[in-house]
Chains A and B, each alone.
Chain A
Amino acid sequence: MFDPMPWLILSPLIWATLAFVHGPGRGGRLAVACLILQLSLAAILAQQVIAGGVRMYAVGGWGAPLGIDLMADGLSTVMLLLTQTIVLPLAFYARAYFVGHANSLRYFWPLTGYLLAAMNALFLSSDVFNIYVTLELLGLAAVGLVALVGGAGPITAAMRYLLATLLGSSAYLLGVALLYGVYGSVSLVALKPLIAADAPATVSLAAALMLLGLMLKTALFPFHFWLPPAHGGAPAPVSALLSALVIKASFYLILRLWFDLFAPIVSITAAQLLGALGAGAILWGSFLALRQTHLKMLVAYSTVAQVGYLFLLFPLATGMSAEVAESAWQGGVLQVVAHGLAKAAMFAAAGAMITATGRDEISGIAGVATRIPLTLFAFALAGVTIMGLPPSGGFAAKWLLLGAALASEQWWWIVVMVVGGLLSAAYVFKVLRQAFLPVEETASFQLLPRMLEWPILLLALASLVLGLVGIEVLSLLGAA
């Protein structure tokens, strides 16, 4: 049977390298072609997983623990599918975007290719050391992309991002070293049966180190300091990639470790602590988003807040009845998917508005409602998901999380979710409201090419339609 797993990693590696050899600014067309291929590969993999459950692939034919295994289960397939689905429209968008911003194009395509290879490899890996390598590949590619624009602001942001991500992966690697010390293996498959509730304290320390490192990379409050300048300062397609996907990669790993590898040793106290940090992120991030004067900074702080929702999953799913945990788990993963699609659309729309008006402050987008209604419409649709209003994917996620919170009688998370939802409505409408204001006749306005607007709408619609087809995603997620 044809196995798409290695190809999902090889394809972006190959096109990125070829794009590099081809030279600065080149490789867009090749990327689009390969991305279409990757999307089909991910779809094939999803079908195989639904039909036959978890799939393993022994690289080099050795098999774990001597060799490295690739593994595709429901969660990793959902992430792979999400990644390819977001990147393909963004690639079209980027091709149109960089026509007007040619000076920051340079090596965008190869960097994006390696970024994608890193994510696909990360989602497929079942080896904690191999995952470390993919994390570094991911981090360096992301930093390179942030620095593309140049200038003091973005370079500073890139530097801070690099230091944060290095600190995070170092903590992770130390955890891996400790795990190897205790068990003599780095394979998830080999480690899982060995870790029991009575595991030595070293394992708890390793778990704490790995999770902390990944939380830093996911920009969970209060480790979010690096995110807004990095995501807000990068070119729009890059911001979209970073906010929609890159932080989700480290979050995916947290899920993997928490619910898979370390499931026997995680405690309810730790889960409540993660939830509290998530709540802090929701409130503080939303509050700061509301205070921003620049469009992309607002969207970036919105990411800080939305990351918080993801972490509510832990107190709702840890130590609760199977039914509640299931509902929270599904809600958390749906939130990952919904936020990914919506945030990609939102950053792309922000980039389009800034391109059209030539101004990056929120006050500068007056009149967008009449000049580029399609883009504004897409922004609003994405906003619906961010606010968690029906019938969007964000709503479906919120529904499940709220249900889990009610069923487990943890009403404090309900308050957080409700208040967070209202705050997010406040900052989304802060933008929409401005867009409806009349604009002075003298304001210059640049018409946008179609390929800049339609991919945004596609992403936003996808985040909305997710609310109606959530059951399909959940059936893939539950495939075992």
Chain B
Amino acid sequence: MNFNETLPLLVLLSSLLPGLIIFALPDERHGLRSLINMVGSTLQLLLIVYMLRGVMHGEEYIYHFTILPGLDLVFKADALAMLFVPLSAALWFLTTLYAIGYLEGSPHRNRFFGFFSLCVTATIGVAMAGNLFTFFVFYELLTLSTYPLVVHRGTEQAMRAGQVYLTYTLGGGALLLVGIVWLYGLAGQVEFTHGGVLAVLWPEYTSQLRVIFFLLIAGLGVKAALVPLHGWLPLAMVAPAPVSALLHAVAVVKAGVFGIVRVVYDVYGVEFSQSLHLLMPLAVMASVTIIWGSLRALFQDDLKRRLAYSTISQVSYIALGVAIFGPMATVGGVVHLVHQGIMKITLFFCAGNYAETLGVHKISEMDGVGRRMPWTTAAFTVGAFGMIGLPPLAGFISKWYLGLGALEAQMPWVIAILLASSLLNAAYFLPVLYRAWFQPRTEAWPEEQIPMQNGRETAWLLLVPPLATAVATMLVGLFASSTLSPLTWAKMIAAREYLYWMP
């Protein structure tokens, strides 16, 4: 086994091992625990940077391990994986920082951070999975490692949310499993390959392939929160803010939608999916989700719930990008994988800051928070504008390419969906911003826990992560055309999926 083979394993271990060690630590060892977390996280980032360089220079990082006859665990760092992996690792790093500040003084932190690390390991496993089986293994591991995070507070409400979460995700997992086993039965063991691998089964197994596609998308759609499979997500809001941030921005919903990307592009192949007429239903489903999520978000007073419905809507942009046939839409969808992550995590960090610093949970309580917490609110504003799609922020880039893609595919109704969704985004974000910046404060904060000190609005550890991600939201938009941007990377991926297309 050479170094290139072990590298994907090392990336996994760099978050798995810290998690296991943390479980074994006593709860009081805060310093040591934070150190282990940070060392693991930093190490992981370094390894990933090394791998990114390698992938750009055409290196291959593949690891095979046979567990049953004809059944391999495969880890592969291809271009698509290397879009998702750095996102997870970077956001894990920031979220861990944030969580250390957020959970200070609360009980059972070793359990929390242990499962947190497992959850990131599972996400990275999902990202680097080289075939559907490996993908499924980590997809289910993700379910198991996030459950304790959702019910972390141990309240009745959290328990109920946990139960709903499990019912949805395990049910989806079962459908996914049946689909995968069926596919393995038809096609044997297939690795994710650019352009797909199933076209050889045409036309003999067409109807079976359609049923399998339905099973796979239904299974993945649960985590991706496609309407009507989204019911768990708003309830899962009871989890602590860092968990919500990670669940929404990277881990769970992204795993689902990333799976859809993999199935369409690297299993069926986008051209083959199109020829089986599978993409149109998916596009419709994604569009319905986009509108439905936004509509529901309008009527939420709880800030985190509004953000949750916003997630449902925004994540489906990715599915929409996948479902529109054509490279431009692919670029838009794939790049939104990163963009949505950065923007949404910013918003959740900020919501957590309001709750932790001032006890503000509801939008109706947000009058004047902008003056009390200008930095946090600034970050929130950047995230919200990004979501709405104001140029030159991240969200604009995604929507622009999605729109181009829709035109290219001659699906003008998608443009209407995009416009309507942007309007709705504005309708549910702008009032929040208005309250925060322009409404004067008339009463005391519900529960001020962190007082103003030397002009610092809240704890350092709570402030740095949202600012960092807000800056990132601007940078990926401003420098979208640079060689290191997610957009360039997404174009490279699209170029590999559409064999005839040059960016």
Task: Say which residue of A377, A390, A469 sits within 8 Å of B140 (CB atoms).
Answer: A390
Whether B159 lies near A437 (C-beta < 8 A) is yes
Tell me the minimal C-beta distance from B154 to chain A in angstroms.
5
B166 closest partner in A (C-beta): A429
Tell me the minimal C-beta distance from B209 to chain A in angstroms.
14
Tell me the minimal C-beta distance from B317 to chain A in angstroms.
30
Number of residue pairs spanning A and B whose beta carbons lie under 8 angstroms apart: 81
Whether B181 lies near A402 (C-beta < 8 A) is yes
B24 closest partner in A (C-beta): A374
Whether B140 lies near A389 (C-beta < 8 A) is yes
Whether B171 lies near A422 (C-beta < 8 A) is yes
A387 to B170 CA separation, bound complex (whole angstroms): 10
Whether A433 lies near B151 (C-beta < 8 A) is yes
Tell me the minimal C-beta distance from B248 to chain A in angstroms.
22
Tell me the minimal C-beta distance from B242 to chain A in angstroms.
18
Contact A407-B185, Cβ < 8 Å, known A373-B111, A414-B178, A429-B166: yes
Tell me the minimal C-beta distance from B380 to chain A in angstroms.
32
Whether B68 lies near A471 (C-beta < 8 A) is yes
Tell me the minimal C-beta distance from A396 to chain B in angstroms.
6
Contact partners of A418 in chain B: CB under 8 A: 174-175, 177-178
Count residues of A near B (Cβ-Cβ below 8 Å).
Answer: 34
Interface residue? A214 (CB, 8 A) = no
A residues 350-405 with Cβ under 8 Å of B?
369-370, 373, 377, 384, 387, 389-391, 396, 398-400, 402-403
Contact partners of A425 in chain B: CB under 8 A: 166, 170
Whether A384 lies near B67 (C-beta < 8 A) is no
Count residues of B near A (Cβ-Cβ below 8 Å).
Answer: 36
Interface residue? A438 (CB, 8 A) = yes
A384 closest partner in B (C-beta): B144
Mostly, the A contact residues are helix
B residues 143-195 with Cβ under 8 Å of A?
143-144, 147-148, 151, 154, 159, 162-163, 166, 170-171, 173-175, 177-178, 181-182, 184-185
Contact A403-B162, Cβ < 8 Å, known A422-B171, A471-B66: no
A400 to B67 CA separation, bound complex (whole angstroms): 12
Tell me the minimal C-beta distance from B277 to chain A in angstroms.
24
Interface residue? A266 (CB, 8 A) = no
Whether A433 lies near B68 (C-beta < 8 A) is no
Contact A429-B178, Cβ < 8 Å, known A370-B108, A373-B23, A399-B68: no
Interface residue? B464 (CB, 8 A) = no
Interface residue? A474 (CB, 8 A) = yes
Tell me the minimal C-beta distance from A223 to chain B in angstroms.
29
A389 closest partner in B (C-beta): B140
Task: Say which residue of B67, B140, B143, B175 sits within 8 Å of A471 (CB atoms).
Answer: B67
Contact partners of B108 in chain A: CB under 8 A: 369-370
Contact A403-B159, Cβ < 8 Å, known A470-B68, A474-B69: no
Whether A406 lies near B171 (C-beta < 8 A) is no
Contact partners of B71 in chain A: CB under 8 A: 396, 399
Interface residue? B137 (CB, 8 A) = yes
Contact partners of A400 in chain B: CB under 8 A: 68
Contact partners of A396 in chain B: CB under 8 A: 67-68, 71
Interface residue? B136 (CB, 8 A) = yes
A396 closest partner in B (C-beta): B68
A335 to B465 CA separation, bound complex (whole angstroms): 47
Interface residue? B199 (CB, 8 A) = no
Most buried by A among B108, B162, B174: B174
12 cross-chain CB contacts under 8 A:
A370-B107, A391-B137, A399-B71, A403-B184, A406-B185, A414-B178, A422-B174, A433-B162, A436-B154, A438-B154, A469-B67, A471-B69
Closest A-B pairs by Cβ, 8 of them: A390-B137, A402-B181, A418-B174, A406-B185, A389-B140, A470-B68, A438-B154, A425-B170
> Beyond A373-B23, A402-B178, A418-B178: 15 further Cβ-contacts under 8 Å?
A369-B108, A373-B111, A389-B140, A389-B173, A390-B136, A390-B141, A391-B137, A391-B141, A399-B181, A402-B181, A406-B182, A422-B171, A422-B174, A437-B154, A471-B69
Interface residues of A (CB under 8 A from B): 330, 369-370, 373, 377, 384, 387, 389-391, 396, 398-400, 402-403, 406-407, 414, 418, 421-422, 425, 429, 433, 436-438, 467-471, 474
